[in-house]
A and B are shown apart, each in its own frame.
Chain A
Amino acid sequence: MSEDCVLIANRGEIAIRIMNACNELGLGYVVVYTREDEASFHVELAREQRGAGAVYRISSYKDPNEIFSVADRANATAIHPGYGFFSENFRFARRAALRSRPLTFIGPRWEVIRDLGSKINTKRVAKSLGIPVIPGSDSPIYNEMDAEALAEELFFMQKEQGIKHPSILVKASAGGGGMGIEEVNHLDTFKRVYRRIQNYAKRQFGDEGDLIEQCLTDYQHLEVQLLCSRHGEVVHFGTRNCTIQSTGRQKRVEAAPGFDPQLYDYPFDASKVLERMVKYSVRLAKHVGYDNVGTWEWVVTRDGSPYLLEVNTRIQVENEISAAISRIKGHQGPVNLIKEQIRSALGEKLGFKQKDVSFEGTSIELRIVAEDVKRGFSPWCGTISRFDFPEEPWARLYTHVPRGRPYSIPTEYDPNLALAIIWGRNTEEAKERAKAFISACNIQGEDSQGRAIVTNLDYLYERLEDVLRF
Chain B
Amino acid sequence: MADSGKLLTQLADRISYLIDIKGDAKWANLDELLDRVHGLRQSLFDITEARLFEELDRIEERVSFLEDRVAEKLSPAEVVNIVRSIQRFTLQDVLENVYDSYTELGGEGECNIDPAMVVARAIISRRVKNKLYRHQVMVIGHEKGRGEEFRNGGCARPWGNDKALRYMRVAETEGIPIHFFIFTPGSFPIEDYPGAAQQIARNLYVMSKLKVPMVSFISEGGSGGAEAIGLSDIRLMGAMGYYSVISPEGAAAIEGRIREGEKLPKELIRHCAAQLKMTAKDNLELGTIDRIIEEPPLGARREDYGFFRRLRYEMIRATDEVVLKTKSFRAFRAYALKQRAEEGKDIPEDFDVAIAWDLSDLEIERLLELRSKKYRGLGKRGYIQLKKGLRLGLGRARDMATKGYYELRYGLLRPHQRNVQKVIEEVSGEGTVFLKKVTEPVRAAYDFVFPKLERPRKVSAPESMERRSIFAEDWEQYVSPLANEDRTVTCPNASKYGCLDLWVPDLYGELCGVCPSCGHHFPLEYQWYLENLFDQGSVREFNTHIVSGNPLNFQGLDARLKRDIKRTGRKSAIITFDAEVKGIKLVVAMLYSDFRSGTVGSAEGEKFVRACDRARTTRRPFLAYIHTTGGIRIQEGTLGVVQMPKCTVAVREYIDSGGLYMVVYDNNSYAGPVASFLGCSPYQVGIRSSRIGFAGPRVIRETTGQDVPPDYHSARNALKRGHIQGIWDRREFRKNLYDALVTMGGPNLYYK
Residues facing B in A174-207 (CB within 8 A) are: 174, 206-207
Q: Tell me whether A120 is interfacial, beta carbon within 8 Å.
A: yes
Also in contact, A121 and B506, with CB within 8 A (given A64-B500, A99-B486, A142-B735): no
A124 to B464 CA separation, bound complex (whole angstroms): 10
Cross-interface CB contact of B506 among A95, A124, A140, cutoff 8 Å: A95
Q: Tell me whether A118 is interfacial, beta carbon within 8 Å.
A: yes
A206 touches B488 (CB 8 A): no
Cross-interface CB contact of A100 among B463, B467, B468, B486, cutoff 8 Å: B486
Residues facing B in A17-75 (CB within 8 A) are: 62-65
Q: Whose C-beta in chain A lies nearest to the C-beta of B516? A: A206
Q: Whose C-beta in chain B lies nearest to the C-beta of A144? A: B459
Binary flags per residue of B493-522, CB closer than 8 Å to A gives 1, else 0: 000000011010110000000101000000
Residues facing A in B445-493 (CB within 8 A) are: 459-460, 463-464, 467-472, 486, 488
Residues of A within 8 A of B459 (CB): 142-143, 146
B486 touches A140 (CB 8 A): no
Residues of B within 8 A of A207 (CB): 469-470
Residues of A within 8 A of B500 (CB): 62-65
Q: Tell me whether B381 is interfacial, beta carbon within 8 Å.
A: no
Interface residues in A, total, Cβ within 8 A: 30
Q: Tell me whether A115 is interfacial, beta carbon within 8 Å.
A: yes
Q: Tell me whether A306 is interfacial, beta carbon within 8 Å.
A: no
CB distance from A380 to the nearest CB of B (A): 28
A10 to B554 CA separation, bound complex (whole angstroms): 64
Also in contact, A65 and B488, with CB within 8 A (given A115-B471, A118-B469): yes
User: Is the contact region of chain B dominated by helix, strand, or loop, or is it mixed?
Assistant: loop
Residues of A within 8 A of B463 (CB): 139, 141-143
A95 to B488 CA separation, bound complex (whole angstroms): 11
Also in contact, A65 and B501, with CB within 8 A (given A99-B486, A206-B516, A206-B731): yes
A209 to B463 CA separation, bound complex (whole angstroms): 11
A139 touches B464 (CB 8 A): yes
A95 touches B469 (CB 8 A): no
Residues facing A in B626-648 (CB within 8 A) are: none
A200 to B486 CA separation, bound complex (whole angstroms): 32
B503 touches A121 (CB 8 A): no
A95 touches B460 (CB 8 A): no
Q: Tell me whether A163 is interfacial, beta carbon within 8 Å.
A: no
Also in contact, A121 and B488, with CB within 8 A (given A64-B500, A64-B503, A142-B463): no
Binary flags per residue of A111-146, CB closer than 8 Å to B gives 1, else 0: 000110110110010000000000000011111011
B470 touches A95 (CB 8 A): no
A467 to B468 CA separation, bound complex (whole angstroms): 39
Residues facing B in A203-255 (CB within 8 A) are: 206-207, 209
Residues of A within 8 A of B488 (CB): 65
A117 touches B516 (CB 8 A): no
Binary flags per residue of B727-749, CB closer than 8 Å to A gives 1, else 0: 00001000100000000000000
A100 to B467 CA separation, bound complex (whole angstroms): 31
CB distance from A85 to the nearest CB of B (A): 13
B731 touches A114 (CB 8 A): no
A100 to B488 CA separation, bound complex (whole angstroms): 13
B506 touches A118 (CB 8 A): no
A139 touches B468 (CB 8 A): yes
Residues of B within 8 A of A63 (CB): 500-501
Residues of B within 8 A of A121 (CB): 468-469, 471-472
Q: Whose C-beta in chain A lies nearest to the C-beta of B460? A: A146
Q: Tell me whether A91 is interfacial, beta carbon within 8 Å.
A: yes
CB distance from B557 to the nearest CB of A (A): 42
A124 to B465 CA separation, bound complex (whole angstroms): 12
A118 touches B505 (CB 8 A): no
A95 to B487 CA separation, bound complex (whole angstroms): 10
A100 to B504 CA separation, bound complex (whole angstroms): 13
Also in contact, A91 and B469, with CB within 8 A (given A142-B463, A146-B460): no
Residues facing B in A80-108 (CB within 8 A) are: 90-91, 94-95, 98-100
Residues of B within 8 A of A141 (CB): 460, 463
A146 to B468 CA separation, bound complex (whole angstroms): 16
Interface residues in B, total, Cβ within 8 A: 21
A141 to B461 CA separation, bound complex (whole angstroms): 10
Q: Tell me whether A344 is interfacial, beta carbon within 8 Å.
A: no
A118 touches B471 (CB 8 A): yes
Q: Tell me whether A173 is interfacial, beta carbon within 8 Å.
A: yes
CB distance from A392 to the nearest CB of B (A): 44
A64 to B488 CA separation, bound complex (whole angstroms): 10
A121 to B501 CA separation, bound complex (whole angstroms): 29
A139 to B469 CA separation, bound complex (whole angstroms): 8
B460 touches A91 (CB 8 A): no
A376 to B657 CA separation, bound complex (whole angstroms): 64
Residues of B within 8 A of A206 (CB): 470, 514, 516, 731
A359 to B506 CA separation, bound complex (whole angstroms): 43
Residues of B within 8 A of A124 (CB): 464, 468
Residues of B within 8 A of A174 (CB): 469-470
A114 to B500 CA separation, bound complex (whole angstroms): 21
CB distance from A311 to the nearest CB of B (A): 13
Q: Whose C-beta in chain B lies nearest to the C-beta of A99? A: B486
CB distance from A388 to the nearest CB of B (A): 41
A118 touches B470 (CB 8 A): yes
Cross-interface CB contact of A114 among B468, B471, B486, B505, cutoff 8 Å: B471
Residues of A within 8 A of B471 (CB): 90, 114-115, 117-118, 121
A95 touches B464 (CB 8 A): no
CB distance from B496 to the nearest CB of A (A): 17
CB distance from A38 to the nearest CB of B (A): 22
Residues facing B in A270-285 (CB within 8 A) are: none
A21 to B500 CA separation, bound complex (whole angstroms): 31
B731 touches A120 (CB 8 A): no
Q: Whose C-beta in chain A lies nearest to the C-beta of B505? A: A98
CB distance from B128 to the nearest CB of A (A): 70
Residues of B within 8 A of A95 (CB): 503, 505-506
CB distance from A87 to the nearest CB of B (A): 17
A7 to B506 CA separation, bound complex (whole angstroms): 22
Residues of A within 8 A of B514 (CB): 206
A90 to B470 CA separation, bound complex (whole angstroms): 12
B735 touches A140 (CB 8 A): no
Residues of B within 8 A of A139 (CB): 463-464, 468
Residues of B within 8 A of A142 (CB): 459, 463, 467, 735
Q: Whose C-beta in chain B lies nearest to the C-beta of A139? A: B464
A209 to B468 CA separation, bound complex (whole angstroms): 10
Binary flags per residue of B97-113, CB closer than 8 Å to A gives 1, else 0: 00000000000000000
Cross-interface CB contact of A209 among B460, B469, B501, B516, cutoff 8 Å: B469
A98 to B514 CA separation, bound complex (whole angstroms): 21
Residues of B within 8 A of A143 (CB): 459-460, 463
Q: Whose C-beta in chain B lies nearest to the C-beta of A140? A: B469
Residues of B within 8 A of A62 (CB): 500
A142 to B731 CA separation, bound complex (whole angstroms): 14
Extra pairs beyond A94-B505, A117-B471, A142-B467 (20, CB < 8 Å):
A64-B500, A65-B503, A91-B506, A98-B505, A114-B471, A118-B470, A121-B468, A124-B464, A139-B464, A139-B468, A140-B467, A140-B469, A142-B735, A143-B460, A146-B460, A174-B469, A206-B470, A206-B731, A207-B469, A207-B470
10 smallest A-B Cβ distances: which pairs?
A139-B464, A146-B460, A100-B486, A143-B459, A207-B470, A65-B501, A118-B469, A118-B471, A114-B471, A121-B469
Taking Cβ atoms with an 8 Å cutoff, the residues of B that contact A are 459-460, 463-464, 467-472, 486, 488, 500-501, 503, 505-506, 514, 516, 731, 735
A-B contact pairs, 22 of them (CB 8 A): A62-B500, A64-B503, A65-B500, A65-B501, A91-B506, A94-B506, A95-B503, A95-B505, A117-B471, A118-B470, A118-B471, A121-B468, A121-B472, A124-B468, A139-B464, A141-B463, A145-B460, A146-B460, A173-B469, A174-B470, A207-B469, A209-B469
Taking Cβ atoms with an 8 Å cutoff, the residues of A that contact B are 62-65, 90-91, 94-95, 98-100, 114-115, 117-118, 120-121, 124, 139-143, 145-146, 173-174, 206-207, 209
